[in-house]
Amino acid sequence: MGRSLLVLACSAVLAVAALSGCFHNTSAVAADQFLSGKVYTRLLVEIDHQQGKAPHASAQDMLRNRILERCNKPDGVQIQVTPFPETDDTWTLSEIRALEKEKRDNSASGSTAVLYILYLGGKYETDGVIGVQYGPTSFALFKDAMANAANPTNPVLPLAFTATDVERSVIVHEFGHVVGLVNHGVAMVRDHEDKEHAGHSKNKDSVMYYAVESLFLGQVFNGPPPTNFDADDIADLRAAGGK
Ligand SMILES: [Zn+2]
C-alpha cells in the first residue's frame, strides 16, 4: 500500500468512527413487542419505499428468517411493501420522522406487533450513513447508499460483495437495534459492546458490528458483511424474552 492509499484508508476509518446510525434507545417495552410472544403473537413488517427504491426480495427473506429465528411469533411474519412517489434526495432526521407520520398505516394492536421500515433514495443528512434506526419500532434504509457502498468510485481495496449483500446485512443490523442490541434497550448477558461505537458489538463477525451501517464498510470487510447475530447477541435476546 502506497503512502497516499494509507492516508486515504486512515481518513476513511476516522470518518467511520465519527458516525452513528442510532438515534433511538430502544425501550424494554419495544423489545417485548418483538421478542416476546406473550401479547403479540404475529408481526407485520410495513415497508414503504420511494418509487424505484424497492426492497430486494432476498433482503425481505433474510429479515423474515431472522425474525422467525429470534422472536416468539407463532402466528408468523407478514411483510407488506408499498411504493410512494417522492423526489426528495437528501433526508434529515426530522423529515424522515415526518414521512413516517404521513405514510405509516399500522401500529401494534390486538395480537399483532408492527415493524416500520422506510426505503429511501438519495442520502442521509450525515455523510456515510446507509441505515438509521430513528424510532422505537422504525428504521430507514438508503438504497442508493447501499449501491455506493458496494461500488465506490475510489475503492481502497477491490470489493467482493454486491449492493444486495449490503442490503441483506444492514436490514438485519437495524432490526437488531429495534430489538435492543447492543446494550441499546436490552441488558447484556456478557459485556460485548464496542465502547467506541455505542450500541454496537465488538465482534466483526456479528451483524451488529458498527461498520455494517456505514458507506465505508468495504474498507472493513473483505467479503460480504455479516448477516447474523453472534452468540453474545443471541444470549441478550434470549434473556429479554426472545429465542
Ligand atoms: Zn448500528
Read off the pLDDT of each residue in 130-147 and give the average, rounded to a whole number: 94
Residue 130 has pLDDT above 70, yes or no: yes
In this predicted structure, what is the pLDDT of residue 216?
83
Question: Cα–Cα distance between 212 and 38 in angstroms, integer?
Answer: 32
In this structure, the number of other CB atoms found within 10 A of the CB of residue 143 comes to 21
Distance 214 CA to ligand 1 centre (A): 9
Residue 1 has pLDDT above 60, yes or no: no
pTM comes to 0.88
Distance 170 CA to ligand 1 centre (A): 8
Residue 21 has pLDDT above 70, yes or no: no
Distance 199 CA to ligand 1 centre (A): 7
End-to-end CA distance of the chain: 45
Read off the pLDDT of each residue in 186-204 and give the average, rounded to a whole number: 96
**Which of 134, 129, 102 lies closest to 117 in space, CA to CA?**
134
Residue 77 has pLDDT above 90, yes or no: yes
193 confidence band (pLDDT: 50, 70, 90): very high
Distance 80 CA to ligand 1 centre (A): 24
Share the mean pLDDT of the chain.
87
In this predicted structure, what is the pLDDT of residue 215?
84
Distance 110 CA to ligand 1 centre (A): 30
Read off the pLDDT of each residue in 222-243 and give the average, rounded to a whole number: 95
Distance 168 CA to ligand 1 centre (A): 14
Read off the pLDDT of each residue in 77-103 and give the average, rounded to a whole number: 94
Which sequence spans correspond to the domains of the chain? 23-239
Question: Cα–Cα distance between 172 and 151 in angstroms, integer?
Answer: 21
Q: Which amino acid is at 166?
A: V
Residue 211 has pLDDT above 70, yes or no: yes
In this predicted structure, what is the pLDDT of residue 140?
97
Question: Cα–Cα distance between 105 and 158 in angstroms, integer?
Answer: 42
* Range scoring the smallest mean pLDDT among 34-43, 147-156, 207-216: 147-156
Residue 196 has pLDDT above 60, yes or no: yes
In this predicted structure, what is the pLDDT of residue 114?
97
In terms of residues, how long is the chain?
243
Residue 222 has pLDDT above 90, yes or no: no
Question: Cα–Cα distance between 109 and 38 in angstroms, integer?
Answer: 13
Read off the pLDDT of each residue in 126-134 and give the average, rounded to a whole number: 91
Write the CB contacts of 90 (distance below 8 Å, at least 6 apart in sequence): 122, 123, 124, 125
In this predicted structure, what is the pLDDT of residue 84?
95
In this predicted structure, what is the pLDDT of residue 13?
34
Residue 74 has pLDDT above 80, yes or no: yes
- Return the sign of the alpha-carbon dihedral for residues 88, 93, 135, 171: positive
**Which of 138, 213, 214 lies closest to 178 in space, CA to CA?**
138
14 confidence band (pLDDT: 50, 70, 90): very low
Distance 216 CA to ligand 1 centre (A): 13
CATH of domain 23-239: 3.40.390.10
Distance 175 CA to ligand 1 centre (A): 9
| Residue scoring higher pLDDT (52 or 31) | 52
> In the structure grid, which three cell numbers stand for residue 118, read together?
422506510
